[in-house]
Chain A
Amino acid sequence: MLRWIYSGLLTAVIFAVAGTFSPQSAFTEDLSDWKAVEQKAKGQTVYFNAWGGAQNINDYIAWVADELDKRHDITVVHVKLDDTANAVATVVAEKAAGTDEGGSIDLIWINGENFASMKRQNLLLSPGWAEKLPNWKYVDHESKPTIQTDFTIPVEGLESPWGMAKMVFFHDTARGIEMPDSFAQLVEWTKEHNGRFSYPAPPDFIGSSFLKQALSESVADPSVLLEPVDEATFSEVTAPLFDQLDAMHPNLWRGGRTFPKNKEALRRMLADNEIDIAFAFSPAEASNAIANKELPDSVRSFVFSGGTLGNTHFVAIPYNASASHGALVLANFLLSPEAQLRKQDPVIWGDPTVLAMEKLHADKRASFEALDLGIATLGPADLGPTLHEPHASWMTRIEEEWIRRYGVAN
């Protein structure tokens, strides 16, 4: 028995060591011969690791799986994640064990910090493939800069855009409460409406996004945020942010002693009348929740007139994917006007498309224009200006600082 354990441990260590020296296999497929890619993808099973916390999104992915099966004879399995970091962790563990081929993940729904980390660790299928996909020709990379720069990190075709996101707030108009129009106004607002606002605790994605929104609004010179954090000036740059947070926290829900876990918890708290403002990174969030009977139909969305954060989310293929051809076909399908139209339909998902209307055929364009975005969804014209995402290092440092200051109850 003991011998078995020892030999097992030994194997583990040997594999681990081997993993560090194994050569990085470069991806050499010629994507211009798309028919050949589709041929190789036939019969593959693609494990699509995507956050599985929302039913409408799960339903959408189930539809995608059906279509891929019908059109390309590809089986898509949706591995529902609690946190995308888990999928990154899996690839890391596989690399550690020397599993450079036949990995368990074929496609990951990803952006921001997770992308930066995988790119840095060479965990992604490379060289870049996204801009060689047949459907890339429809993508609006000209007027949507976040498609080629993910949180200031150059994408370089290592991930393929899937949808757009923008921070929107929502509230219940039936309560008749005046809403703030900037972060500074929000801080004042919480003084009058004690315990009626909160935000998810970082490092939750939406919580961190809220901090970045606040940072972008409170920083004296926004251009510093496009560069990596300079430790020498960090505390000076962020002083206004943390001063305002210090002022705001005692007036938050539960006195700022605990924070909701994520935007879904925030939405639930709005529904339960525990708070008055919720927010999300998807303009259709409120309409979806109303349709789903999670929020009353008197809820409406709003944005700050000075602008709110926006970004793009992507799909990426790990370097050791078992079914990379299938994953490419899937990524390409996700970019198709048909899939994007369905994704933007608020009844189904409601996520703004990454495609450029003017690049589409007239009939497809008409279908997009005919979508009823839902009663609580702001149209493209009402979404206001987009604030750029700061460099990913800001998020990391701000999260650390936040946790140091507020993450530990006193």
Chain B
Amino acid sequence: MILKAAPALAIAVLIGPILCGLGVTILPAFGYFPALGGNEFSLDPWRQLFATPGLLRSCLISLATGLVTTLLALAVVAGFVAGWSHTRMFRAIQHLVSPLLSVPHAAAAFGLAFLFMPSGWLVRLFSPWPSGFERPPDWLIIHDPLGIAMMAGLFAKELPFLMLVTLAAMPQANPRPGSMIATGLGYGRTAGFLFAVWPSIYPQIRLAVFAVIAYASSVVDVALILGPTNPAPLAVRLVSWMNDPDLTVRFKASAGAVLQLGITATCLLIWVAGEKLFSIIFARIRSSGRRFDKDQAVRIGFSVLMIATAGAVFAGLFILALWSFSGFWPFPKAFPDELTFNTWQRQLPGIGQPLTTTILVGIAATIFALALALGCLEREARTGRTGGNRALALIYIPLIVPQASFVFGLQLFFLSVGLHASLYALILVHLVFVLPYVFLSLSDPWRAWDTRYAQAARTLGASRNSVFWQIRAPMLLRPILVASAVGFAVSIGQYLPTLLVGAGRWPTITTEAVALASSGDRRVIGVYAFIQMLLPFIGFAAATLVPALLFMRRRDMRAGS
């Protein structure tokens, strides 16, 4: 009975809040919102919006960020996978890059900023010798007008995501024979893989690529930390309009939210057109007969890019941690004068509440998401209906509709149903974003499970329920826990929904960290970003350790088997 409702409930969770939010956003965008004095429909909000200085530039930055970062990250992943799959190097880099997925965007962005800014650690390392800088060079590196720093920050986080999605798609594409045949025909390793195998990988990761485009074109937290400031990308300006004390700006903000939806849609359309163009060019090159067999330099290039990206993020995180323990640390010193616990001691009393909220909301959203995902998957197993591509597209909706376009409307909606600033509303809005990731990371291992185990158990007299609880769930404990860790990490990373729906009543480590970005005190930021990074790490560590301990004496339950 409950199981029967799981798919409907999951769909309601996935798209209900989005539809509500969009609905309540669109009305004021066209001037209608009586509470704010808008009693009739008009195009005034749009006129105001288009009269905003620098709007075009903001839109172009958003558009470019969405496309450029995704293209670069995808190209590097494709090149690297093509050049190195099934090598020891590949496994090593895969292990290096995977943990990056769990690092929240804000923490990674802070780390990169601390590393690369003109007064950052890299310049300090080379100053005053050999650079000759006694004071930080006047370089416009972070917050640069073109958004290059922001794009680099997003690139560093999208790379591991696309890498893992590609890895998950690899077995289905069965890359080994195809690429071996191609290399046998004299094609270079990279070209052979791209020609023979990539075309069957890409369709599987396409929705994930769309999600990356949508995220990058509407990001707020990374943009606040690394992005251009005059003007800022559209989503950042949107949030500031939504918070403007002048109420009439709300109408413009709503119109802006609809525009953001349009920008993201435009990004996706351009991408889809680009796919067509690319496949034509790609087919030309493929049928040209050229073998591209001297690809050593290209292969090394891709691996260096992967290592450098992962290395930069790790170095950034290390610098964050170092700042959190530092006393006065003037430029150009590469290391602080003294290490102290002062900052931690001062911050810890204030961290308790946001930390509790973060963990509570994260765990609650993860448990609900897990229950829904397991319910859907079990229902699918029992009925044999998978829901197919349409269901998959539904799962991706929360990842593709930009948050900035509907969360404000959602805030108004929650307010009107009396759920404003409640923990329930916060958990629900986190669930919207946690569920897709939990479902996506759980569905493959769940479906790959050998159902003959279930048949064996059934013929031994076990009911469906006892098969689920005693056989399938325990056998899939590791993927279940990994999916939970993924969900927990996603919840921790949520900035905009927490800020708006929580209405400040439920600060989390992430909202506190981003709020502190304006404080400029790197030691305090270090503390918060360090905790923000640590939480998902603990989740993943638990997901690895618990099954390992539980099944210490069960060889076939170990990872990789």
Q: Provide the bound-state CA to CA distance between A396 and B201, in Å.
A: 54
Are A262 and B53 in contact, CB atoms less than 8 angstroms apart? no
Number of A-B residue pairs with CB-CB distance less than 8 Å in the complex they form: 211
Residue A177, interface by CB 8 Å? no
Contact residues of B with A, CB < 8 Å? 8, 11-12, 16, 19-20, 23-24, 27, 33-37, 53-54, 57, 118-119, 134-136, 138-140, 143-145, 228-231, 242-247, 250, 327-328, 330-331, 342, 346-347, 349-350, 411-413, 415-417, 420-421, 499, 503-505, 507, 511-512, 514-522, 524
Are A261 and B229 in contact, CB atoms less than 8 angstroms apart? yes
Q: Provide the bound-state CA to CA distance between A88 and B413, in Å.
A: 18
Query: What's the minimum C-beta distance from B401 to chain A, rounded to whole angstroms?
Result: 15
Among B330, B514, B521, contact of A82 (Cβ-Cβ < 8 Å): B514
Are A408 and B416 in contact, CB atoms less than 8 angstroms apart? no
The segment from A8-16, A157-165, A304-312 that touches chain B is A8-16
Are A264 and B520 in contact, CB atoms less than 8 angstroms apart? yes
Among B35, B57, B243, B524, contact of A96 (Cβ-Cβ < 8 Å): B35
Are B349 and A97 in contact, CB atoms less than 8 angstroms apart? no
Contacts of A370 in B (CB 8 A): none
- In chain B, what residue has the closest Cβ to A276? B135
Q: Provide the bound-state CA to CA distance between A254 and B35, in Å.
A: 44
Among A9, A81, A254, contact of B504 (Cβ-Cβ < 8 Å): A81
Residue A268, interface by CB 8 Å? yes
Among A13, A82, A201, contact of B229 (Cβ-Cβ < 8 Å): A201
Residue A409, interface by CB 8 Å? yes
Among A8, A97, A293, A403, contact of B53 (Cβ-Cβ < 8 Å): A403
Q: Provide the bound-state CA to CA distance between A166 and B546, in Å.
A: 57
Q: Provide the bound-state CA to CA distance between A58 and B347, in Å.
A: 10
Interface 1/0 per residue, A67-110 and B, CB below 8 Å: 00000000000011111011111101111111100001000000
Are B420 and A5 in contact, CB atoms less than 8 angstroms apart? no
Residue A404, interface by CB 8 Å? yes
Contacts of A113 in B (CB 8 A): 245
Are B53 and A408 in contact, CB atoms less than 8 angstroms apart? yes
Interface residues on A, range: 35 or more
Q: Which 9 A-B pairs have the closest CB atoms?
A: A408-B54, A96-B35, A272-B119, A264-B520, A268-B520, A409-B145, A117-B245, A12-B416, A97-B415
Are A268 and B522 in contact, CB atoms less than 8 angstroms apart? yes
Query: What's the minimum C-beta distance from B419 to chain A, rounded to whole angstroms?
Result: 11
Are B230 and A90 in contact, CB atoms less than 8 angstroms apart? no
Contact residues of A with B, CB < 8 Å? 1, 4-5, 8-9, 11-17, 19-20, 47, 49, 52-55, 58-59, 62, 79-83, 85-90, 92-99, 104, 113-114, 117-118, 121, 195, 201, 253-255, 257-262, 264-269, 271-274, 292-294, 296, 403-404, 406-409
Query: What's the minimum C-beta distance from B494 to chain A, rounded to whole angstroms?
Result: 16
Q: Provide the bound-state CA to CA distance between A375 and B132, in Å.
A: 33
- In chain A, what residue has the closest Cβ to B139? A254
Are B420 and A1 in contact, CB atoms less than 8 angstroms apart? no
Are A5 and B229 in contact, CB atoms less than 8 angstroms apart? no
- Given the interface contacts A80-B512, A272-B136, does A58 sit within 8 Å of B350 by beta carbon? yes
User: Can you add 8 more A-B contacts, CB < 8 Å, to A89-B243, A265-B520, A274-B119?
Assistant: A12-B412, A52-B512, A94-B415, A97-B420, A257-B140, A261-B518, A261-B520, A267-B520
Query: What's the minimum C-beta distance from A287 to chain B, rounded to whole angstroms?
Result: 15
Contacts of A406 in B (CB 8 A): 230
Are A97 and B412 in contact, CB atoms less than 8 angstroms apart? yes
Counting chain A CB atoms within 10 Å of each CB, the highest count among B244, B411, B511 belongs to B244
Are A79 and B24 in contact, CB atoms less than 8 angstroms apart? no
Q: Provide the bound-state CA to CA distance between A201 and B231, in Å.
A: 11
Among A86, A117, A255, A293, contact of B246 (Cβ-Cβ < 8 Å): A117
- Given the interface contacts A264-B519, A274-B118, does A104 sit within 8 Å of B328 by beta carbon? no
